[in-house]
Structure 1
Amino acid sequence: MRARIIEAALDIAEHWGWYDIRLHHVAERLNLPIAAIRAEFRDGDAIADAWIAQADDVMLAEPAAGFAELPVEERLQISLEAWLDALAPRRRVTAEMFLAKLWPVHVHHNLKLITWTSRTVQWWREAALLDGKGQQRSVEEIGMTLIFLSTLGRWCRDRSEGQQRSKAYLRRSLRRADCFMACTARVRFRMAG
């Protein structure tokens, strides 16, 4: 039932836009009472959350053989691309979902977006098999959050085939971050020595 509701909401949003979707339209499309929608989702934002959570599942799926031996930069690229590709069939609607969460009068959504971003970055770390500890982990999380948000912002507007521009941006950002982390490690080593 939940999958049917999500799909119907996305179909309607493809035509009307996410801002204009009404849950009674979803109920009508599925020939259900509105109470059946309420029994599964507390509101439209919960439907958006459930749609986006499906991308987390794709990102966290069993990796291909040899994934753990790849360089960190490559594991991060593969993991986040899997997340973005899962949302790509509904990229425009997904972008509208994120914009709706940023709407100034929806403070409750704004605050949830901060928590959601942190949680998604944590799952990205897990998917990429990162093991940083202490200060290194903190620096990684800050960098990954900035990379995640800037890539997501580009992806939301990216009309290139397969969102290749966003993926190229992600690759460049991860390469720069990798260089930064290597330089930071060398400086720490020199200071300790």
Structure 2
Amino acid sequence: MSTTRNAIVDAAVELAEEASWEEVRLYDIAERLDVPLTAVQAHFREKEEIADAWFDRPDHALVAAASDPAVQALPATEKLHCLIMTWLDAQADHQRVVREMIKGKLEAGHVHVQIPAVLRISRTVQWLREAAHRDAAGAMRGLEETVLTSIFVTTFVSWLNEDTHDFRRTRARLSRLLHGAAWMAQWVPGYHSPRPRGALPAPPQGALRPENVADESTDARA
């Protein structure tokens, strides 16, 4: 029986839960699955490719959530919040392992891993835009992608370091960032798409206004 990519990813994460992601070796995965090492090699050239395959899963969960009419009926800010948290929640059972995967990618000297990691983030943000039915074009699309990428990365870092069972601090920070971005978008000439859009929500207390951008940035680094 052929060994599937999913089985290899599952075995790798299982082994990482028992020890650490750093300690997982491809031959360990082969032994866990009781297959020759060539069966792993047929799907993955290196361990980092297994980590990349892992992140395909939350991408899929994000896109699948977008097929729910109730999600599409949400206001734009709440829809993005729902989709980003869906991406994070899909990995919640293995938060420590995910943190170790990211730590490994950020180690000094791993440029060959870090460049694909940047592209990986970009791909997830593209799926986020598609799932949320974002339709900005041209320069406005570039601006929106930059803002969404910043919000996504800030939220992901917050999630990686949070120790509450419901990630309430991450959820609250994401809400502040999204509402703040929506509020500031009102002042960007030409941002709004020709398609009809609902009124932008007023920023909640503590949202990202120009006068407290520095405060939020400081908080994100804390």
Q: State TM-score, norm by structure 1.
A: 0.92
6, 10, 20: which one aligns with 2:9: 6
Q: Percent identity?
A: 37
50, 55, 78: which one aligns with 2:53: 50
Amino acid at match of 1:69: A
Q: Which residue is equivalent to 1:100?
A: 104
The structure showing larger relative contact order (alpha-carbon pairs under 8 Å, at least 6 residues apart) is 1
Structure 2, unaligned runs of 5 or more: 193-222
73, 80, 87: which one aligns with 1:76: 80
CA-based RMSD: 1.7
Amino acid at match of 2:131: A
Rounded to whole Å, the distance in 1 between the matches of 2:155 and 2:113 is 21
Q: Which residue is equivalent to 2:69?
A: 65
**Aligned-partner SS, 1:184:** coil
**Aligned-partner SS, 2:85:** helix
1:125 and 2:139 matched: no
**Aligned-partner SS, 1:96:** helix
137, 151, 155: which one aligns with 1:151: 155
* Contact 2:62 2:84 survives alignment (8 Å): yes
1:171 and 2:179 matched: no
Structure 1, unaligned runs of 5 or more: 189-193
Q: Which residue is equivalent to 1:191?
A: none
Q: State TM-score, norm by structure 2.
A: 0.80
Rounded to whole Å, the distance in 2 between the matches of 1:155 and 1:33 is 37
Residues 27-54 of structure 1, C-alpha deviations (whole Å, 9 max, x = no match) = 1111111111111111111111111101
Rounded to whole Å, the distance in 2 between the matches of 1:16 and 1:118 is 30
How many Å apart are 1:70 and its aligned residue? 2.1
Rounded to whole Å, the distance in 1 between the matches of 2:184 and 2:140 is 12
* Contact 2:71 2:82 survives alignment (8 Å): no
Amino acid at match of 2:171: K
Rounded to whole Å, the distance in 2 between the matches of 1:123 and 1:107 is 25
How many Å apart are 1:102 and its aligned residue? 1.2
Give the structure with the larger helix fraction. 1
